[in-house]
Structure 1
Amino acid sequence: MPVITPFHRPPGAAGTAEDPGSTPGPAAPPTLGARLRHWRAWRSRHPRTAAAVRGTTTALAAVLVLGALLLPGSLAALEPNRFARIPVEAVVAAVLLLRVPRVPRLVLAALFGAGLGALTVLNLLDMGFTEYLGRGFNVVLDWGLLDDAHSYVADSMGAAAAAWAAVGAVVGVLLLLVLMTLAAVRLGELLAAHRERAARGALTAATVWMTCAALGVQTFGVPVAARNASAAVQAQARRAADTLRDEAAFAKEAKTDRFGATPGAQLVPDLRGKDVIFTFVESYGRTALDDPVVAPGVGRTLDTGTKALAEAGYRARSGWLTSATYGGGSWLGHSTFMSGLWVDNQQRYRTVTAGDRLTLTEAFRRTGAWDTVGVMPGVRKAWPEAEWYGLDTVYDAFDVGYEGPRFSWSTMPDQYALEAFQRLEHGRERDRPLMAEIILTSSHQPWAPVPELVGWEELGDGSVFDGIEARGVRASDVIADPARSKEEYGRSVAYSLTSLVQWLERYGTDDTVLVLLGDHQPPARVSGSGAGRDVPVSVVARDPEVLDAIDGWNWTEGLEPARDAPVWRMDSFRDRFLTAYGSVPHPTRG
């Protein structure tokens, strides 16, 4: 028997003819042709199973395509009856695919599937935008807001959750496009394989569709004859065209300003010597006073606040403003209120902030009689709009000395932001009165965790809030639960309002004038489907002449406006306010 060494292998041992001592590498992957031959052989051996697989694949393809064609653009319309209809686009596509040769048919089916996948993505975006912002997705303007949505998720639920959400969204979109394309190709080939029966079926479907459309036939309360996909494409195209036309018209409108050329000496002369503070409370909308779950707590807070302020010598008048935005986009509400223009989209915002439109805050700076300050705890990057707003000094999230925990999206509790304003500006010795714009963010969604009030002397650098944040409700426990969202929303608004009332009681003077308002309604999961855009607005002062000047506004006594109090568009407030306090119009023309 021969001796086996590493250099001597017996017959049949591992090795190759070229190199008997080598170790074989990995087997080459099978070619596409080999895979197809294997699949055909498997189908021959298992005909019933293969038929079941083909039938299931075809059924899934049909469900995917028909579901996409019938998908509505809002969550409120997402009901089973919406899918018991005949989409005209399916009939037209079937006729076209039956009339072309194989190669053009494959190309046409692939393009149809990819287009349907893209339309499905837009419909899903429409659902999300309608749910949160009360309007559909704008293909011209809104892509940048997806980055804001990513930042919101990161701020609310952490960077890891935001990263996974972004990856999931990208993978989901790509998978949807691929599956929809494959499904359309699959159905196109099926039609070609059964051309005569498919032609008869298409003719029958077309006849039924036209008959149902002509007679208005309905099933389960919706028309049988559907044209969802083409209507969605038309809506997106019309929205894009309207956006492009609006740009030039709005730029011209922005240059027409009733007070655009008014000299500083003739602006708000009746408020000379007053500290005027414009304060926005995030998501403080009519829902806070109308919803049966939210209203009792917020109503008690406003009633208690009105009484507390009265004891401190203050009176208030309140009404309603219709915001230019809903559910989010606070900067659109802020700029509408300050500029006197209807700023309801990002294009308009860019246009107005790039111009020289007179804002309420700039009006005070133009007089030379006020120091102008902004307190913006939600700002965490460069904010060039400060110059347009007319703010000499801006304190962002990093400028107020806060060392405590974040409360989800909100970088700090409102109580701390107000105390920082007092310490840094309002409480200082100064030669001129102060005009301030303050944004309170604790009532920003997802309303978890909500801060708690502490002693004003205990605020320090904000570390006192560590324990409060740690034992608070988690954002993930609230976001997906509408009932819980309402409860926490109400708590957050009550917290913000109480913080502001206590600040005014503690630090306000005979010369303090407070304008308090919401920027927009909360999203639909709190305000409900079809909610309006009204937000409360109040003017608070000790000096009776300040409130006498707006007596003709017919606003309600106290911090809570009556349900039938006057409702104005938010863009009308600037001119009414300037006029009430003695400003003289000097128009500019576009």
Structure 2
Amino acid sequence: MPVFTRLRQQPGTPEATEDQNAPAAADGEEAPQGSPAPDDESGTDGAGGRRKEDRRWILTALSAALVLITLLLPNSLAALRPNRFTRIPAEAIIGAAILLALPRRPRTVTAATAGTALGALTILNFLDMGFREYLGRGFNLVLDWSLLDDAQAYMEDSMGAATTVTATIGAVLLAVLLLVLTALATVRLSNILAAHKQQATKATLIAGTVWITCSTLGLQLAGMPIASDRAASALAIQARRVQDTLRDEAAFAKEAKADTFGATPPAQLLPDLRGKDVIFTFIESYGRSAIEDPIMAPGVTSTLETSTKSLEAAGYKARSGWLTSATYGGSSWLGHSTFLSGLWIDNQQRYRTVTSGDHLSLTKAFQKTGAWDTVGIMPGIQKGWPEASFYGLDKVYDAFHLGYKGPKFSWSTMPDQYTLEAFQRMVHGKKRDKPLMSEIILTSSHQPWAPIPKMVDWDSLGDGSLFDAIQKEGKKPQDIITDSTKSREEYGKSIEYSVTSLTQWLERYGTKDTVLVFLGDHQPIARVSGNKASRDVPVSIVAKDPKVLDKITNWNWTDGLQPAPDAPVWKMDAFRDRFLTAYGSTPHPTKD
């Protein structure tokens, strides 16, 4: 509030009047000579003045705390510890020096702009925290805004529409409030600096000297360097991500045009699999942690051992290895496209580039030969899916075309057992003139892993209505979603269910010509797999014909459905070319 000069009438002097020409002083400015100090409480109750003064100091302290927190806030939940906030931020010292040198109006504009920028940086840090927790990477300013829609859809499926709307509105309001509060806080602090310019200048010089000394000597407090440039580093990281993304876009477009098998004639593609029904199946979030984590592994490994024995009794053999996925915790489509394209697809821009081009996907190679009918079973697809052309699928059965009348299980539109039975009924079990190549996505192991379906009698599946009772008896997402141990337990059970559904289907409906390739698309989120988990996923090939597995003997994979800890680990984009080569395809490269 402006403070106006007031003159009191003194005895024996002419009557004083308010000086209309005296300059006004803004809050925090030094008042003109002869004026009372800002917020002078003359003529007011002393206690009321003290209360006002106390409120001002509280607001100032809160402003300083807010600015300090935004300057020192880390961008991962694992790093969110008290010792992160016991440091001296270089940005605060530099900012104070700049503000002290500016006149009132430029100072106010600069402070407000800097405060808003700090608020925006804090929002980015929170987004980084969320993305690291769920996807194992930071937020990309260029590519990741579209994923927020997917996150909202996931929340709606898991927590309900009302909760999602409330949370979305709350998040937007909090973001706006943060921007406003950081701007107001920096303006207030800038005014305090100006009001005490001499003392503030000395304090800034001392702080700068201390920071340089601490930085030079590498001094630490509570295990962290005392001298901090966290905010500047965070800005540099975001800028580097943007630059790398823009450079990568052009480089990858060129890379995607080169293809080892892009010009291979149809007759020279996959000759050693002719006559076989080949099925590529992705199990959602089936990662290495499911086999090695002490909480999840006992149930999962027991299921793999039992399933291996059952398949062997039915005449099947299996071999298994590891693939390092291009994604982690989510964005399954990046794992699918990496596996099938032979290109490393680790962001949305790369995905859009490759799926809109004519690079040869593994599944399209089957279509190109003309020797197979090709089909996609996609229960997770609930909208238009133009990528079907890239994957070379003659027909796609999405969530609305599989005849399911039962309940959803959180995000998953239908249980895996039903999906596989519908595949048998509508596609695999029908007479055909050609063998079949199928791509199947199983979704029951999708987070939040509650409720989870249970296996039922295959002959009783019908239209899926019998799952109503199972869904109602199952756990609620909100009961486990914030509990790491419960999430790990339920995740393990979901993997057991998906593996059991798939292997029982193969025992029941497979033939001597069936070749099953199944794998995980990525590891589960960090809260389940751990902050230092690898990106490895299991991959298995199962067949009755011994010649099929003989072709991959030199891969040195482990016998059975469970890969050994020291089994070979390949990057996921290496699989396409190795598979095509193993089964007789002749390279004829296209060039960029």
Q: TM-score range by the shorter chain?
A: over 0.9
CA offsets 1:195-249 (integer angstroms, 9 cap, x no match): 1111111111100000111111111111100000000000000000000001111
- Could you tell me which amino acid in structure 2 is paired with residue 365 of structure 1? Q
- The correspondence of residues 448-467 of structure 1 with structure 2, limited to 5 A, is 448-467=450-469
Distance 1:457 1:52 in 2: 76
Distance 1:517 1:562 in 2: 15
In the alignment, structure 1 residue 473 sits paired with structure 2 residue 509 = no
| Post-superposition offset of 1:43 | 8.0
Distance 1:494 1:221 in 2: 42
Structure 2 counterpart of 1:536, from 538, 563, 569? 538
- The correspondence of residues 512-551 of structure 1 with structure 2, limited to 5 A, is 512-551=514-553
Distance 2:195 2:292 in 1: 61
Distance 1:510 1:251 in 2: 41
CA offsets 1:434-455 (integer angstroms, 9 cap, x no match): 0000000000000000000000
Name the structure 1 match of 2:344. 342
| Post-superposition offset of 1:44 | 6.6
Name the structure 1 match of 2:576. 574
What is the SS of the residue equivalent to 1:463? coil
| Post-superposition offset of 1:52 | 1.3
| Post-superposition offset of 1:49 | 1.0
CA offsets 1:459-500 (integer angstroms, 9 cap, x no match): 000000000000100001111110100000000000000000
Name the structure 2 match of 1:406. 408
- The correspondence of residues 163-182 of structure 1 with structure 2, limited to 5 A, is 163-182=165-184
Q: Could you say if the C-alpha distance between residues 168 and 40 of structure 1 is closer, same or farther in structure 2, counting changes exceeding 3 Å?
A: farther
CA offsets 1:240-267 (integer angstroms, 9 cap, x no match): 0000001111011001100000111110
Q: Extract unaligned runs of 5+ from structure 2.
A: 1-37
| Post-superposition offset of 1:330 | 0.1
Name the structure 2 match of 1:26. none
Q: Could you say if the C-alpha distance between residues 435 and 202 of structure 1 is closer, same or farther in structure 2, counting changes exceeding 3 Å?
A: same
Name the structure 1 match of 2:304. 302
Compute the RMSD of aligned alpha carbons. 1.5
| Post-superposition offset of 1:45 | 6.2
Name the structure 2 match of 1:81. 83
Structure 2 counterpart of 1:132, from 134, 150, 169? 134
- The correspondence of residues 100-499 of structure 1 with structure 2, limited to 5 A, is 100-499=102-501
Query: How many residues are treated as equivalent by the alignment?
Result: 556
Distance 1:470 1:40 in 2: 70
What is the SS of the residue equivalent to 1:342? coil
- Could you tell me which amino acid in structure 2 is paired with residue 549 of structure 1? K
Distance 2:46 2:275 in 1: 94
Distance 2:100 2:91 in 1: 14
What is the SS of the residue equivalent to 1:536? strand
Q: Which runs of 4+ in 1 moved over 4 A?
A: 39-45
Q: Could you say if the C-alpha distance between residues 509 and 108 of structure 1 is closer, same or farther in structure 2, counting changes exceeding 3 Å?
A: same
| Post-superposition offset of 1:354 | 0.8
Q: Could you say if the C-alpha distance between residues 40 and 296 of structure 1 is closer, same or farther in structure 2, counting changes exceeding 3 Å?
A: farther
What is the SS of the residue equivalent to 2:538? strand
| Post-superposition offset of 1:510 | 0.3
CA offsets 1:160-212 (integer angstroms, 9 cap, x no match): 11111110110010000011111111111111111111111111110000011
- Could you tell me which amino acid in structure 1 is paired with residue 95 of structure 2? A
In the alignment, structure 1 residue 70 sits paired with structure 2 residue 72 = yes
8 Å Cα contact 1:322-1:568 kept in structure 2: yes
Distance 1:94 1:531 in 2: 42
- Could you tell me which amino acid in structure 2 is paired with residue 575 of structure 1? D
Distance 1:403 1:371 in 2: 28
Name the structure 1 match of 2:63. 61
- Could you tell me which amino acid in structure 2 is paired with residue 445 of structure 1? Q
Q: Extract unaligned runs of 5+ from structure 1.
A: 1-35
- Using the size of structure 1 for normalisation, the TM-score is 0.93
What is the SS of the residue equivalent to 2:389? helix
Name the structure 1 match of 2:510. 508
| Post-superposition offset of 1:374 | 0.3
CA offsets 1:341-378 (integer angstroms, 9 cap, x no match): 00000000000011000001000000001000000000
Farther-moved stretch of structure 1 (45-54 vs 233-242): 45-54
Distance 1:418 1:263 in 2: 33
Distance 1:565 1:584 in 2: 27
